[in-house]
Structure 1
């Protein structure tokens, strides 16, 4: 489990048999015993056989499904996709953001947006996960005026591509005048083409930055039901909910939100308009944060219906507004065929065996 909180011990967690289970205890990090793992998974609606060694085989038998609506999968490996599919993640949304170092030209931005709307969508599908994305100029790079102006010119074309479910991440980093101009311009772009908005709240001076963000959205007459405010915490959640926005939380180790704290937020505020995501990226982060948090919520007595809303249903509602994201995409998916190519490229390398799922036979029709 992620997050730095001190958690009450689970007596069985010191059982050496837990090494076979392949799961870490949420309180001490030791391997959990197989019996306790089965109980945790059952409480979260996950199949007992969905351990690290299991092969992805479609949806869990119990029907548990998760959406990770904020995952920078371009930074992750195919092992992550496989692990997420085993844990019941059926869809991810990849927001456009900072790569870790400044982009030096609009060409590098164009290639990046092309990747998350193209190859990454293909790559995720080859491991059984439906991939969507949001596009936008992130607030950090809004402070490069020449780059920002050029990116703003290409954004409308990318915003209309297949699989794009929102404009984002938008908002503030250092809360500069340049960030404010680009933020407002992108809000108007989203409104003009009918796209939802994903907001990045700043890591520094978060409360002031969040309140300023909410004020800007109100000034531009943004419908709160079409806007997700992400990276919230205990100090900022009430402001977002009170104004009618979707409130999202990144379960990111030691910095943004831990899953124990997230459980208490759901207990306090209820599941309406709350969304859990991992924000996994190139840093120390966990692509399994959403199903792990669901399991912890179940252990802490959060009702199953509430867990489903914050880890699946709410994200589907808001990010499905423009019609690009639909539940049928994973309820009735195309069979996986890893022999397929994208621009001549395969997810496999020489000698690796391709996974090829056999489609179910057509139902027998007697005429």
Structure 2
């Protein structure tokens, strides 16, 4: 089973997670820029974080043969903080980086006027830079938030086939399916979606434009739940081609629209990164 995790926050994970993921079949991933849990107080802290997404994390993933890509954006939660708004001015130079395959995560957290403005501005950046967009739907009032999301996407003029609307569930799947956007589902141990629930949605709606991710942030999460979902699909009678479509070909097709995916087999990375040795003891 080959796995492309289309949304996973490896900044919050350990090196052991990379090793376990590689053993489970993960060969490529996309790490979206997101809220780190602690409010950032200045633009410089975002720039250091963006630099790590396009430099350090690809290096760290490469140690285990995993291809790492990123999406870059001002996330919805911090769009409400005036100290962070100048991040928008810095995004264009990052959206030209080779490993950046979309603008994201963008969208809504609390559905404020500030989020409206920043969401629309970043969809415009996606159009300007000819990139797909990864959209976060709010954790609260999800149906209304998804409807509002799709309205803003429609107003932006971006091709809906270049938009991935994520964190969906049974309540929101039909809204997004009918919009022409791609559908993303985060699989978690206790919240969001589970492998059995995901299998039921795939039975009902099919595998077209459906993506499964582990998100795996700083809360209770599991970076192997993409693999668990693939195993659950097989146990439910889905064939290997259907599993491969959901776990590999769909994310490749969506992010491939960026023209920047590198899926060549990773040969491993050198033992140092900008003077930071990750091989201890002289080995």
TM-score by length of 1: 0.76
Deviation at 1:303, TM superposition (A): 2.2
Could you tell me how far apart the structure 2 residues matched to 1:85 and 1:147 are? Answer: 35
Could you tell me how far apart the structure 2 residues matched to 1:346 and 1:83 are? Answer: 21
Among 330, 342, 348, which residue is 2:273 paired with? Answer: 342
- 1:350 aligns to what SS in structure 2? helix
For residues 217-256 of structure 1, give each alpha carbon's deviation from its aligned partner in whole angstroms, at most 9, with x where no partner exists.
0011121111100000001011111111100100012211
Q: Which runs of 4+ in 1 moved over 4 A?
A: none
For the Cα contact (< 8 Å) 1:88–1:291, is it kept in 2? yes
Corresponding residue of 2:37: 100
Corresponding residue of 2:52: 115
Deviation at 1:350, TM superposition (A): 2.3
Could you tell me how far apart the structure 1 residues matched to 2:280 and 2:78 are? Answer: 35
- 1:247 aligns to what SS in structure 2? strand
For residues 174-197 of structure 1, give each alpha carbon's deviation from its aligned partner in whole angstroms, at most 9, with x where no partner exists.
000001100000000110110100
Deviation at 1:336, TM superposition (A): 2.1
- 2:102 aligns to what SS in structure 1? strand
- 1:284 aligns to what SS in structure 2? coil
Identify unmatched segments of 5+ residues in structure 1. 1-63, 354-367
For residues 83-117 of structure 1, give each alpha carbon's deviation from its aligned partner in whole angstroms, at most 9, with x where no partner exists.
00001100010000000010011010110001011
Aligned positions, number:
283
Whether 1:271 aligns to 2:230 is no
Among 90, 114, 117, which residue is 2:27 paired with? Answer: 90
Corresponding residue of 1:70: 7
For residues 2-54 of structure 1, give each alpha carbon's deviation from its aligned partner in whole angstroms, at most 9, with x where no partner exists.
xxxxxxxxxxxxxxxxxxxxxxxxxxxxxxxxxxxxxxxxxxxxxxxxxxxxx
For residues 179-216 of structure 1, give each alpha carbon's deviation from its aligned partner in whole angstroms, at most 9, with x where no partner exists.
11000000001101101000000000000000100010
Could you tell me how far apart the structure 2 residues matched to 1:70 and 1:230 are? Answer: 9
Judging changes above 3 Å, is the alpha-carbon distance between structure 1 residues 152 and 65 closer, same or farther for their aligned structure 2 residues? same
For residues 99-142 of structure 1, give each alpha carbon's deviation from its aligned partner in whole angstroms, at most 9, with x where no partner exists.
00100110101100010111111111012111000000000000
Q: RMSD of the alignment, in Å?
A: 1.1
Instruction: Decide which structure has greater helix share.
Output: 2
For the Cα contact (< 8 Å) 1:250–1:278, is it kept in 2? yes
Could you tell me how far apart the structure 2 residues matched to 1:223 and 1:94 are? Answer: 22
Larger Rg: 1
Structure 1 segment 157-236 matched on structure 2, within 5 A: 157-236=93-172
Corresponding residue of 1:18: none
Could you tell me how far apart the structure 2 residues matched to 1:305 and 1:336 are? Answer: 28
Identify unmatched segments of 5+ residues in structure 2. none
For the Cα contact (< 8 Å) 2:41–2:83, is it kept in 1? no
